[in-house]
Chains A and B, each alone.
Chain A
Amino acid sequence: EPEVTQTPSHQVTQMGQEVILRCVPISNHLYFYWYRQILGQKVEFLVSFYNNEISEKSEIFDDQFSVERPDGSNFTLKIRSTKLEDSAMYFCASSETSGGTYNEQFFGPGTRLTVL
């Protein structure tokens, strides 16, 4: 069964450093998403991406965040200058598109980001 994959599973970085989190969405999906879950808190939406551009973003997704689809398979989230409060589990998700239908979002296993 196709699944979303994410690398690395755990990333430790120093405050102020740049990190890139990588995702490989399900191959026939065209909508991609990033969510995060701070320990003990709700899963929060960050951004959605379709047709090589951001289609929707939350207030969390400020100028220090960016997303990219560098090739036909990868989808990345970059955090330019990490802060302590960026420590969280980051989930990538993808969904099919079929006309205007809103479909299931399938999530990857997550990358646990720890900012020291």
Chain B
Amino acid sequence: GDSVTQMEGPVTLSEEAFLTINCTYTATGYPSLFWYVQYPGEGLQLLLKATKADDKGSNKGFEATYRKETTSFHLEKGSVQVSDSAVYFCALTPNTGGFKTIFGAGTRLFVKA
């Protein structure tokens, strides 16, 4: 079945460091891909998305490119801030008739000042 695998955390970085959180997926066809973020004490919110191969989603300095050939959607940011500390979830929605979203286990990011 469809699934999402993302790198285990926690990831600890110093402020202004480069961030990569790896995400790979298994799905039939061309799913839509998402990164959601959960800040401490808050609900899940969409960070960025891409709906077809080679699309790049971007928001708040974060980017991710939909790579069909490697079935990946890695999250990157060039310079992280303390306020980016959160849990990041990679997710997919199959485009095969259903609309449920399948989430990865989440990666916790700590950014130190």
> Are A and B a genuine interacting pair, yes or no?
no
